[in-house]
Structure 1
Amino acid sequence: MTSYRTDKTSRIILAIFMAYMLAYAYARSEVFHAVERYIGGKGGFRQDYITKKDQAPGEGWEYKLFFPAIKLEETIRSLNNYF
């Protein structure tokens, strides 16, 4: 049986994670956009990456804050190219 403190801690961690993902969803729709890059020309393999609008990838504090979520989304998108 879990203790009250452990249960409370897990709820706090879950709430922080959910707030982070909600903030990323908002930033993804308002701040970031996906850029398609074709390796080897237009007929080659497509690689998507997420960047802040009007900036190069990796610039800005928003990109650094949401870097783990961005990499997770890019990984999911790249897996969709294989299946």
Structure 2
Amino acid sequence: MDLKQQQQQQQQQQQQQEWQPSQEARQQRKQQQQQQKLQQQQQQEQQQQHYHQQQQEQQHHRDQQQQQQQQQQQLTPSNAAFP
């Protein structure tokens, strides 16, 4: 699957979860953040493997990843939002 596609999917899933601020949703959110970390680790490993082939393209991906991570943290309310 394409990196961009993966990230878009993650964002959509997180936005859907915003509509159900329940205990269950909070669990899902935790799991998803773990999945994202795993996927990002995998992506970085992939990136290192292809590093010489696509140095510039990669730098671009990495910048996008960081931006999206920040957006996702803002999208995801902290536990304080659920008293």
TM-score norm. by structure 1 comes to 0.40
Q: Which has the higher contact order (CA 8 A, sep 6+)?
A: 2
The structure richer in helix per residue is 2
TM-score norm. by structure 2 comes to 0.40
The structure richer in strand per residue is 1
